[in-house]
Chains A and B, each alone.
Chain A
Amino acid sequence: MIDLPTRSIDLKNVLSGSSPTVAKDDHSEGMSYLQSVPRRLVTLYLPLTIIVVILLFPFYWMALTSVKPDNQLLDLDRYNPFWTWNPTFKHFHKLLFESYYPHWLWNTMYVAVCATVLSIIASVLAAYAIVRLRYKGANLVGGLIFLAYLVPPSILFIPLATVVFQYGLFDSPLALILTYPTILIPFSTWLLMGYFKTIPFELEECALIDGASRWQILIKIVLPLAIPGLISAFIFCFTLCWNEFIYALTFLQSTSNKTVPVAIVNEFVDGDVYRWGSLMAGALAGSLPLVILYAFFVEHYVSAMTGAVKE
């Protein structure tokens, strides 16, 4: 839809910082050898430190709160709020053994994995058809799929709630598994289209001449070559599912069926007076799976994220 002048972006370099066109120790701005160390301190390291501290502080605060004993949390005059000498795992214990938290984690995981797998299967087929089969109207459909990406859930949740109710899916994880793909498919199709385009067409031609069917070509030639793209799509879809809030809030009702974000907002907020510890422990534990996944696949994640812009 939005047709960009295609300039290839080598995504791995976004994180590693090595640019293929620049020699290793050259500076990307080309000027830095003229700058003195004190000047770089003020113009580069100082602002960077401030921004990074602000970006990461809420996580520090989350982590610290979740291990602070309750009396220290609420007594800012006698204890230094920025540190604690007696960390406690009481909040986590409460979370894991006295609440539905393991349930919620499982629900979120289950919904995210199912919706992601469904979406990726649908997207692989769609992306292959748009890029390689080039059937009549492929470009139009490609454009429409991109437009679908721009339709926000906050417009759809009301009519979807009635649809979900009509189909008898209300308060069941299936409601989420079936509705999440509408958010995930547009993005992952777009991402996979980019990957499929990079696979040499000659490989497929040879296979076609040898009598392979399109299905065989897709499974045996295209998919193995597109594995990095599949991983990117998987991680991004999974993150989106984990993050999704408004559908889960609207379509699920019983406490045990909820997903982590909704459950924490609804179940812990109206709890006892000393809720902050449990709340932050829940938030931290709910973020950890994504952060761990992200730590292992940073490059793929970034390529998925910037992939939307690349195309």
Chain B
Amino acid sequence: MADLAVAPSAKPQFRAASAWDQLKHNRNWLGFWFMLPALAFLIFFLAYPLGLGIWLSFTDTRIGRAGHFIATENYEWLWDDSVFWLSVFNTLLYTFAASAIKFAVGLYLALLLNENMPFKAMLRAMVLIPFIVPTVLSALAFWWIFDSQFSIISWSLRHLGLISQNINFLGDTTWARICVIFANIWRGVPFVAITLLAGLQTVSPSLYEAAILDGASGWQRFRYITYPLLTPIIAVVMTFSVLFTFTDFQLIWAMTRGGPVNATHLMATLSYQRAIIAGQLGEGAAISSAMIPFLLAAIMVSWFGLQRRKWQQGESND
């Protein structure tokens, strides 16, 4: 405040130089210029479409015809649509089953890879390959592996004498669900494992040494040292895993296109089916907008979980 009082008399002298200089040197303006390209992309192709999508869900827009505002009719229609509810059920089942198993297997794999053994670096690099290869392309490989007539799994099981006729993996509702969940787990485990491995390496070995001296068993060391220290990373990895599994599209589209009899339709695939293939943009937008509350819930849970945990740590450590 004291500075400001002096400023008026000094101001005229500086003003001439400052208009351009301000643009060049003022941090806020510079910041704005530096942010401009990123913001332009995100506003035009992310924020605006996000809003537009919600707006579309309240209209009866079709492909090739502008729509009118019809308030919540799309949502009322979906509310009575059993296929929509089936897709919600499928999405939740897919998300929870796949995420839970990805977490369990990923953690187990991370612990295994953290052991000392020969060819460790090579193994770790190989494990990540399913995550690198485009999802659709590996989904096609699974499509072939699960083929009704020429499935290598059916063949092997038949030759082992475990089954007498081929399993119709992608043609049977239960099997189809199991197959797409399996493919999702297969693709997601490497990500979970490598990320948790990164977390494991930050745990100081001296903690384990101390625990061993105190006579802690392997399980106790995991439960009371590894697990608590990994929690923040687990929370973040699982948030990502749940979000991406929930909104998955390509794996289902390449393997089953939602079939048989809609048994594997996720909300994302159903909205594609209704919006792009059937041309009902408004209805499709309503389905995808219906995903937003679920996503917000997932983000909230993990965020508050982390806050609570930080608070607990603050209490116990400091």
Contacts and interface: CB of A to CB of B under 8 A. Distances in A.
B45 A163 contact: yes
B314 to A, nearest CB: 10
B125 A65 contact: no
Contact of B236 (A4, A178, A279): A4
Interface stretch (A11-19, A87-95, A198-206, A225-233): A11-19
Interface string A153-179: 111111111110000000000000011
A306 B194 contact: yes
Contacts of B135: 243, 245, 261
Contacts of B53: 155-156, 158-159
Contacts of A246: 249-250, 268, 272
B258 to A, nearest CB: 13
A13 B41 CA distance: 35
A185 B42 contact: yes
B132 A61 contact: no
Interface string B207-232: 01100100000100100000000001
Contact of B129 (A27, A28, A59, A262): A59
Contact of B276 (A45, A163, A250): A250
A110 B192 CA distance: 31
Interface centre among B112, B141, B147, B218, by most chain A C-beta atoms within 10 angstroms, is B141
Interface stretch (B2-10, B11-19, B25-33): B25-33
A154 B288 contact: yes
B313 interface: yes
Given A2-B306, A7-B202, A9-B199, A29 B250 contact: no
Contacts of A51: 105, 109, 112, 127, 189
Nearest to B24: A213
Given A16-B121, A47-B112, A55 B127 contact: yes
Interface in B87-120: 105, 108-109, 112-117, 120
Contacts of B248: 154
Contact of B186 (A58, A82, A156): A58
Interface of B is mostly: helix
Contacts of A163: 44-45, 48-49, 52
Given A245-B135, A291-B129, A265 B144 contact: no
Contact of A14 (B32, B46, B197): B197
Given A56-B126, A126-B34, A287 B272 contact: no
Contacts of A13: 201
Nearest to A14: B198
B244 interface: yes
B163 interface: no
A44 interface: yes
B137 A283 contact: yes
Contacts of B303: 1-2
A138 interface: yes
Given A51-B109, A154-B268, A28 B202 contact: no
Given A5-B232, A178-B45, A150 B27 contact: no
A69 interface: no
Contacts of B136: 243, 245, 261-262, 264-265
B40 to A, nearest CB: 8
B145 A61 contact: yes
Interface centre among B108, B142, B201, B271, by most chain A C-beta atoms within 10 angstroms, is B201
B197 A148 contact: no
A81 interface: yes
Contacts of B124: 14-15, 17
Given A9-B201, A151-B50, A126 B209 contact: no
B109 to A, nearest CB: 6
Given A31-B218, A134-B27, A73 B150 contact: yes
Contact of B115 (A32, A73, A133, A186): A32
B126 A52 contact: yes
A302 B128 contact: yes
B56 interface: yes
Given A55-B186, A125-B38, A163-B45, A138 B31 contact: yes
A30 B212 contact: yes
A151 B281 CA distance: 19
A212 interface: no
A28 to B, nearest CB: 5
Contacts of B247: 152-155
Contacts of A267: none
Nearest to A11: B198
A202 B39 CA distance: 29
A28 B115 contact: yes
B145 to A, nearest CB: 6
Contact of B46 (A129, A182, A302): A182
A104 interface: no
Contacts of B56: 158-159, 162
10 contacts: A28-B115, A47-B112, A65-B144, A126-B38, A152-B291, A154-B247, A156-B50, A161-B276, A185-B38, A261-B250
Interface of A: 1-5, 7-11, 13-17, 19, 21-22, 25-32, 44-45, 47-48, 51-52, 54-56, 58-59, 61-62, 65, 73-74, 76, 81-82, 118-119, 121-123, 125-126, 128-130, 133-136, 138, 141, 145, 148, 150-163, 178-179, 181-182, 185-186, 189, 213-214, 239, 242-243, 245-246, 249-250, 260-262, 264-265, 276, 279-280, 282-284, 286-287, 290-291, 294-295, 298, 301-302, 305-306, 308-310
